[in-house]
Structure 1
């Protein structure tokens, strides 16, 4: 649309000024040159990417995760050795989603001591800028409003400089999250272990329908049978040929 074109041009003009270039055609020629692909592509991605995210965004998903998905996954593993759950926040942005997942998993483990679980969360994004921010786990105080008060007391640390009003996620939640850059269009995702749960909310909406189908099938190849995929409310699987069945609104499961 015209409004999106205007927004894109405004963001890219920042890069033109940094590179002392006068036109978008000059910038495009540079961007797709071998030197540009190596040195500029990451900067371009950082300025044009929209990074809207919040803690506990779409809270019904986290209620379903706690009360239904996690108990079913634990039960399907049976008794015995500690059960390591693998979760993937596929478009993690500045980290609010994976840290929310870590809070929910920590609460579940605490409230189900007999479940003997541990977990690891992979958090990926195409933007190196937001990944660096996510790794720090530091947020302005107004960002934590969606976090329940009892969680704030357990999982957040106040900054020493009270004038800046910053908080930080506690180390115990940060250490179970591995952040890395991933471009969905580069083919193999490089996963070493299959995932039990994938959050790819508001990720595929930016692609056309054929590409959405390709990406979702790639996600499914990295999902264990019986595993769950959580989608955004603006996304739909209608008309896509993917091996998933609906388990709840915008929650899908790979058949066993």
Structure 2
């Protein structure tokens, strides 16, 4: 009988010691700061991303880095800490079934139409919303329409504001829509596209933490896109955020959620209207 010896296990040698207590602190701190719930399976991701910050800052270990953050709530490094642990997965017209629903909905709404995209990432989602508005509304209505796009990650917001993307990011967009709403780069900008100014001008970007005690928002919205965000929060956090959405939606306003998110059993303020689309019932 022939037996095969088990392959020896190899461990990747780490530059920094990363103890259970360090990981527990990171999980607690990012939850308190940004509401993000990190599972045990995120340990390697956390090490990889924060180790880069330790190298930049010349830190010798995780403990001293985390001590620095906990000593000063206003330390500028908090921004980099949150940015490092934020996941940004996006695409133009992602979960495409939502955009015809948005188009039909805004066509029936009185002016001015406004939409909040609360996880803007690098801009593909809010620009997809803006394109939908441009395709749906008359020129007069469009002049008063707006998209408010926010994200907690300041790095991705900087990219979003540029409105410039590699061509492969728009390669799946139909040709007619691509010609109408994007400019192709030439010369040094070859291989890139820019969202046309008249569309980009509909969108304004700002940094916003959904866990902040107060949101600097005075307006009300016809629709809120909060897609693939709640999956990073625990149920109590989800419920609090949904509750805060209610007074920011106009009567009959819509909430668009991600494909893996279900708010039916979390909030009584919203009624499922379609595939991951909820209607705000408001409050008596």
TM-score by length of 2: 0.81
Cα 1:163/1:128, change in 2 over 3 Å: closer
Distance in 2 between the 1:245 and 1:180 partners?
Answer: 29
Which of 57, 78, 99 is residue 127 of structure 2 equivalent to?
99
Cα 1:226/1:6, change in 2 over 3 Å: same
Q: 2:58 maps to which residue?
A: 20
SS of the equivalent of 2:211 reads helix
Q: 1:80 maps to which residue?
A: none
Within 5 Å, which residues of 2 pair with 1:235-254? 235-254=261-280
Distance in 2 between the 1:5 and 1:242 partners?
Answer: 35
CA contact (8 A) 1:233 1:250 kept: yes
Which of 172, 189, 193 is residue 215 of structure 2 equivalent to?
189
1:117 CA displacement = 6.7
SS of the equivalent of 1:199 reads strand
1:221 CA displacement = 1.8
Distance in 2 between the 1:173 and 1:117 partners?
Answer: 11
More helix by share: 1
1:160 CA displacement = 2.1
Q: Deviations over 1:175-233 (max 9, x none)?
A: 11110000011122121111111000011111100110000111112111111000001
Q: 1:37 maps to which residue?
A: 74
SS of the equivalent of 2:106 reads helix
Cα 1:164/1:225, change in 2 over 3 Å: same
Distance in 1 between the 2:152 and 2:140 partners?
Answer: 38
Which of 90, 93, 109 is residue 56 of structure 1 equivalent to?
93
SS of the equivalent of 1:183 reads coil
Question: How many residues are treated as equivalent by the alignment?
Answer: 244
SS of the equivalent of 1:245 reads strand
Distance in 1 between the 2:188 and 2:179 partners?
Answer: 16
Q: Which runs of 5+ in 1 are unaligned?
A: 78-82
CA contact (8 A) 1:127 1:181 kept: yes
Q: 2:171 maps to which residue?
A: 145
Which of 202, 225, 232 is residue 251 of structure 2 equivalent to?
225
